[in-house]
Amino acid sequence: MVSPRHEAAHRIFQERPELLAPVFRILDLSPPEKAAVEVLTPDATEIRPLERRVDSVLRVKPFAGGDFLLAIEAQGRCDPDKAVNWGYYVSYLAAKYKQPALLLVVCQDKATAEWATGPFRVGVDDWTALSVHPLVLGPGNVPVILDPDEAAQDLTLATFSALTHGSHQDAPAILKALARAMGTADPESVSYYSELLEIGLGSTTPAGITWRNEMSVGTYFPGRGTLIEETFLKGKAEGKAEGKAEGAAEGEARGRAQGVLGVLEKRGIPTLAATRDRITHCTDLGTLDRWFDRAFTVSTTDELFAVEESDR
Q: Which of the pair, 135 or 261, is modelled with greater confidence?
A: 135
pLDDT averaged over the chain? 79
pLDDT of residue 240: 54
Reply yes or no on whether the pLDDT at 1 is more than 60.
no
Reply yes or no on whether the pLDDT at 140 is more than 90.
yes
Residue range 105-134: mean pLDDT, rounded:
89
Reply yes or no on whether the pLDDT at 173 is more than 50.
yes
Give one word for 26, left, alpha or beta, with left for phi > 0 and alpha for psi -120 to 50: alpha
CA distance 73 to 144: 22
pLDDT of residue 111: 92
Residue range 195-217: mean pLDDT, rounded:
79
Residue range 211-222: mean pLDDT, rounded:
58
Reply yes or no on whether the pLDDT at 10 is more than 70.
yes
| % pLDDT > 90, the chain | 21
Cis peptide before 119 (omega within 30 of 0): yes
| Stretch among 33-42, 110-119, 151-160 having the lowest mean pLDDT | 33-42
CA distance 178 to 47: 46
Residue range 278-306: mean pLDDT, rounded:
84
Sign of torsion over alpha carbons 71, 97, 37, 15: negative
pLDDT of residue 220: 40
Type of residue at 6: H
Reply yes or no on whether the pLDDT at 226 is more than 50.
no
Reply yes or no on whether the pLDDT at 302 is more than 90.
no
Give the confidence band of 264 by pLDDT, cuts at 50, 70, 90: confident
| % pLDDT > 70, the chain | 81
Give one word for 289, left, alpha or beta, with left for phi > 0 and alpha for psi -120 to 50: alpha
Q: Are strands 120-124 and 127-132 parallel, antiparallel or unpaired?
A: antiparallel
The 10s digit of each residue's pLDDT in 33-91 is 677 888 775 555 444 444 467 888 899 988 888 899 999 998 888 988 887 889 889 99
Residue range 142-166: mean pLDDT, rounded:
92
SS3 of 69-130: the string is EEEEEEECCCCCCHHHHHHHHHHHHHHHHCCCEEEEEEECCHHHHHHHCCCEEEEECCEEEE
pLDDT of residue 82: 80
pLDDT of residue 218: 45
pLDDT of residue 50: 44
Task: Find the Cα–Cα–Cα–Cα dihedral 59, 182, 238, 286, rounded to 10°.
Answer: 70
Reply yes or no on whether the pLDDT at 232 is more than 70.
no
Q: Which of the pair, 95 or 34, is modelled with greater confidence?
A: 95
Q: Which of the pair, 221 or 252, is modelled with greater confidence?
A: 252
Residue range 86-113: mean pLDDT, rounded:
91
pLDDT of residue 186: 78
Q: pTM (2 decimals)? A: 0.63
Reply yes or no on whether the pLDDT at 268 is more than 80.
no
| Stretch among 136-150, 256-270, 280-294 having the lowest mean pLDDT | 256-270
The DSSP string of the chain is ---HHHHHHHHHHHH-GGGHHHHHHHTT-PPPTTEEEEEE--B---SSS---B-SEEEEEEETTS--EEEEEEEE-S--TTHHHHHHHHHHHHHHHHTS-EEEEEEESSHHHHHHHT--EEEEETTEEEEEE--EEESTTTSPP---HHHHHH-HHHHHHHHHHTTTSTTHHHHHHHHHHHGGGS-HHHHHHHHHHHHHHH-SSSHHHHHHHHHHHH-TT-TTS--HHHHHHHHHHHHHHHHHHHH-HHHHHHHHHHHHHHHHHHHTT----HHHHHHHHT---HHHHHHHHHHTTT-SSHHHHTHHHHHT-
Give the confidence band of 139 by pLDDT, cuts at 50, 70, 90: very high
